[in-house]
Amino acid sequence: MQRLLIDGGRRLEGEVPIHGAKNAVLPILAATLLGGRSTLYNCPALSDVDAAGKILAMLGCVLERQDDRITVDARDITYLDLPEQLMREMRSSILFLGAILARCGRACLSFPGGCELGARPIDLHIEGLRRLGASIVEEHGCLRCRIDGRFRGAEITLPFPSVGATENILLAAVTAEGRTTLHNAAREPEICDLADFLNACGGAVTIEGDRITVEGVEALHDGVHRVIPDRIEAATYLCAGAATGGELLLTGVCPRHLSAVLPMLEKAGCRIEAGENSIRLRAPARLAAVDSVKTMPYPGFPTDAQAPLMAALCTARGTSMFVENIFEARYKHVGELLRMGARIEVEGRVALVRGVEALSGANLCCTDLRGGAAMVIAALAAEGRSTLTGLRHIDRGYQDLEQGLCRVGAKISRER
């Protein structure tokens, strides 16, 4: 079993390049099924990206990877059904449904896997695809799906701005007959990145706030695209720098994508300088508490940054309050933080974090992707050594996290 050994109490200082966004590259990889030969740059080396590559290969695509470039040749798809094992590797596997149906007219796949963060029903995906003309039947945990000819454009209003449902509807609508208008769509930067890729391949997608208009085209062609920076990786490093009283310069980042995160760090006492593609953080010796952090759909505070910020505020002066409005089971990391001496009380969707003088190293286990990142941050700030297992979660969303932290002064190593 692999584990991380982390010796805490070291101030982080230096430069951190930010890799491409996990939550952008995954739907874009699904979108490559709709075109011919696609070339993507700034693709991170993550287990979730590897899982998406396995799905594409299973479908008959030819993939080539060189450094951060992935080329996908989807001209000769030979297989339509996805085995349960691949679907269970990651939640985003459901995004392949709209793309396979649009390309092939039928599909059979099981329900997706991913982090257990509570109920994350795919009913919005299914209903959206049905509105576009799909026939979808559930049989023994599998979705058997079919369309007659092409998808047909429709007016769709989402009851909640689901990122995944928005992406699946986009993938289905881009080659549909006629116009699709999606209301109350998700507004995350990753949605815009997917639209940019589709347009680069000949699509006609227009985004105006929470309304997306798609004029269906016959087919997509070859395309080249550079994936946006990972705003959650950036937030994680910023929280690590804040927790250790450090000074970090993040490069290759988009500051406007962190417009809800940076003010929270400033409230905690950090000095932030944002450039065009960089962010510099200077943290005080000890952070101040933040009165209220409420997760919301973009442009609100991202749920994926909740756990990293909570870890940083465990040793802040005063009491911070978190309200988790996206996933009801996103406080699983709290139990591990308590093992380190944190004082956190959870009641439903609310968590009160009463800052302590110091955390202590402990044996920890990752609960999920962002919870694992929170434990790394807490361990970096703690006194003594921490041991962290369950690294498969971290590897889903962070490329060489321990190496990146070592370059800025952390003492962290992986035992295999």
Which residues does the annotation mark as catalytic? Answer: 115
Decide if 213 contacts 169 (C-beta within 8 A).
no
122 is in an annotated binding site: yes
Taking the C-alpha atoms of residue 196 and residue 183, their distance in angstroms, rounded to an integer, is 19
β partners of residue 17: 251
What contacts 115, CB < 8 A, 6 or more positions away? 91, 368, 369, 393, 396
Taking the C-alpha atoms of residue 324 and residue 301, their distance in angstroms, rounded to an integer, is 10
Rg (CA), the chain: 21
150 is in an annotated binding site: no
Taking the C-alpha atoms of residue 102 and residue 384, their distance in angstroms, rounded to an integer, is 54
Residue with tokens 């956190």: 344
22 is in an annotated binding site: yes
Distances (CA, A) of 102 to 59, 175, 212, 272: 14, 7, 18, 45
Residue 299, preceding peptide bond in cis (omega within 30° of 0)? yes
4 is in an annotated binding site: no
Which ranges constitute the DSSP H helices of 287-415?
Answer: 306-313, 334-339, 369-381, 392-397, 401-406
326 is in an annotated binding site: yes
Taking the C-alpha atoms of residue 235 and residue 241, their distance in angstroms, rounded to an integer, is 10
Taking the C-alpha atoms of residue 313 and residue 307, their distance in angstroms, rounded to an integer, is 10
Decide if 12 contacts 383 (C-beta within 8 A).
no
Distances (CA, A) of 154 to 170, 194, 219: 12, 20, 18
377 is in an annotated binding site: no
Which ranges constitute the DSSP H helices of 140-275?
Answer: 163-173, 189-200, 231-243, 262-267
Q: How many CB atoms lie within 10 A of CB 10?
A: 18
121 is in an annotated binding site: yes
124 is in an annotated binding site: yes
DSSP strands (E only) in 111-178: 135-139, 142-146, 155-157
Nearest to 119 by CA among 373, 326, 336: 326
| DSSP secondary structure of 156-172 | EE-SS--HHHHHHHHHH
Q: Residues forming the annotated binding site?
A: 22-23, 91, 120-124, 304, 326
Q: Which residues are annotated as a binding site for phosphoenolpyruvate?
A: 22-23
Give the residue numbers of the binding site for UDP-N-acetyl-alpha-D-glucosamine. 91, 120-124, 304, 326
